[in-house]
Structure 1
């Protein structure tokens, strides 16, 4: 974690000096929300729009949720199209249709991973409405609903249903908005969403109460917000399944000792919350060295040399990282594949809420 992230989640006392700026941030965010909602109108595309996002900065696991949800919907005969901001990418022109051979520098790592894992139509554009328009223009006959990867705070985008993903381990840090805390919006925003998915951790009341620290007069109110919000939460579990060789495609079961005893694993990540990834790898009977890059970092081969990474020893990374290393990976590159277990009946419940007919 960065210095500021560490301070947020360890509830450092000095952050109080940033509290006035946080109040201003909340006011500006609220004004922006109201203005965007005024211009937001019910969609004319005749399919539901589902937004999957979060209220905090950093990785909460929303992209795995989008992938799992899309796969579950397809298994029910319902075909989603997906839009994304395209974080980490910079296209020459937007909106951009993401194909399997799309350059990650143009579309971003998350969008390319979603396209690879779901085989759904994916369009990226900072303007989500423009992304939807192109998605429906090109794939109207194939799409039964639209999923927006992120965009909870993009209020210009009309939505029929909202899903917020919460990191069950880190929760909300000190409970303050940026820059004094990690929140884009106050915790009370969770009372407005349709579903909350808690990624790992615990959602019991004692655990929740311990993760918010405010002035005494505000603490009870804040905790009540959290308890009420997470009462409608669903638990999600990320399960490591295989280590896949990025060059050959060889698959090795995660359980046991996938590498020779004595091998040191070099864990490489450029994701929002690398600690969750490292914690999974700690289950293996191998020594591990961690190498962290900024979120969405576009890897070059020389980055590995600069970090002192041994290209002859096992290098393990997430699927999101792997899509950026295909051009120079050798046989030492391995990808951690995880399965995402959404709550039982979650997808079916969502289908019922949206009045969709199963195929």
Structure 2
């Protein structure tokens, strides 16, 4: 974890130096973002409404909140409701030959970014990447999609949306509560009450902040049932994997690597050696040179999509699925029906 993230989320002693130094930049960030929102509010900047409804899955802070599993959940749910969904994403970490770029069957994470490739491979759904989300969405509409799910893009106000879902990491919450760069927030906590639904990734503390959350909310849990071999594609149950492997090594290049390691420990896996990487890290074979080849290596599905070209026989990944209670699943379904006018 980078020093600045330790300051944001863990109260590292460096906060006494870094936060005061960064506060002037935070004030500048606040005024610029507030001015931008105001321009859209008064109509000097225009939002574009597409012919297909848009669902935005975003957050008010930097990554690692659980947006991608929620996007996958919505792809499956909208399909059940009779829609033909498509997904748009910024494509962070990718280097496509042109934008907007429509992912193909063999598109790699180097081209389109790790999260879009993960979604495309898992869901077999049209995915387009690019900084111009309106152009990306229009490309998907031309492919026959009749609902667009935006992976992130909460602050992309130029794109009009029918439904806004904000995902919050129930463990890290809002860090020190400051806007960037003194803190991890892109918008203040007030923004939660402007959305249609706040989704907590895990069970949050009851004392979240002084201002009451008035927006409907739901708690999602990420569950894992199988483990997949990156090289061979073999899938075995998680319980069988645990029984056969008393020790594992693990790596994670996500927003909160410790969450992944804690998940493995909760499954009674003994972690021999772990290593964290920054979110969206571009892996190479040398990153794994210090791990024992005789011990299985576990990683997230997001990391695995970047390792197919040089994967080893003992490398595995743990796919996760989003789960809600029956009551909250019904709440989300009814919200979609209402907002998307099924």
TM over 0.5: yes
1:1-359 aligned at under 5 Å gives the runs 1-11=1-11, 12-14=15-17, 15-35=19-39, 38-43=44-49, 45-137=50-142, 139-140=143-144, 143-204=145-206, 206=207, 208-209=208-209, 223-224=210-211, 227-229=212-214, 232-255=216-239, 258=242, 260=244, 262=246, 264-283=247-266, 284-305=268-289, 308-342=290-324, 343-357=328-342
1:181-201 per-position Cα deviation (integer Å, ceiling 9, x unaligned): 110111111111111100013
Distance 1:129 1:315, change over 3 A: same
Distance 1:96 1:42, change over 3 A: closer
* Mapped partners of 2:167, 2:334: distance in 1: 17
* Mapped partners of 1:179, 1:93: distance in 2: 31
State TM-score, norm by structure 1: 0.87
Offset, 1:130: 1.2
Q: CA RMSD in A?
A: 1.9
1:116-143 per-position Cα deviation (integer Å, ceiling 9, x unaligned): 1111111101110111121122x13xx2
Offset, 1:111: 0.3
Q: Secondary structure at the match of 1:288?
A: strand
Is the 2:52–2:141 Cα contact (8 Å) retained in structure 1? Answer: no
Larger deviation: 9-18 or 177-186? 9-18
Is the 2:118–2:301 Cα contact (8 Å) retained in structure 1? Answer: yes
Offset, 1:144: 2.3
* Mapped partners of 1:355, 1:182: distance in 2: 32
* Mapped partners of 1:279, 1:72: distance in 2: 28
Larger deviation: 93-102 or 70-79? 70-79
Larger deviation: 144-153 or 339-348? 339-348
Distance 1:124 1:36, change over 3 A: farther
Offset, 1:280: 0.4
* Mapped partners of 1:341, 1:186: distance in 2: 28
Q: Secondary structure at the match of 1:39?
A: coil
Is the 1:95–1:130 Cα contact (8 Å) retained in structure 2? Answer: yes
Ranges in structure 1 where 5+ consecutive residues have no aligned partner:
210-222
Distance 1:316 1:228, change over 3 A: same
Offset, 1:40: 2.8
1:288-328 per-position Cα deviation (integer Å, ceiling 9, x unaligned): 321112211121112222xx123342110111111111111
Is the 2:248–2:269 Cα contact (8 Å) retained in structure 1? Answer: no
Is the 2:250–2:271 Cα contact (8 Å) retained in structure 1? Answer: no
Q: Secondary structure at the match of 1:81?
A: strand
Larger deviation: 27-36 or 330-339? 27-36
Q: Secondary structure at the match of 1:327?
A: helix
Ranges in structure 2 where 5+ consecutive residues have no aligned partner:
none
* Mapped partners of 2:335, 2:272: distance in 1: 40
Q: What residue number does 1:220 align with?
A: none
Is the 1:73–1:347 Cα contact (8 Å) retained in structure 2? Answer: no
* Mapped partners of 2:125, 2:245: distance in 1: 40
How many residue pairs get aligned? The number is 332
Distance 1:189 1:330, change over 3 A: same
1:329-352 per-position Cα deviation (integer Å, ceiling 9, x unaligned): 121011112121143214412322
* Mapped partners of 2:138, 2:116: distance in 1: 17
* Mapped partners of 1:19, 1:275: distance in 2: 28
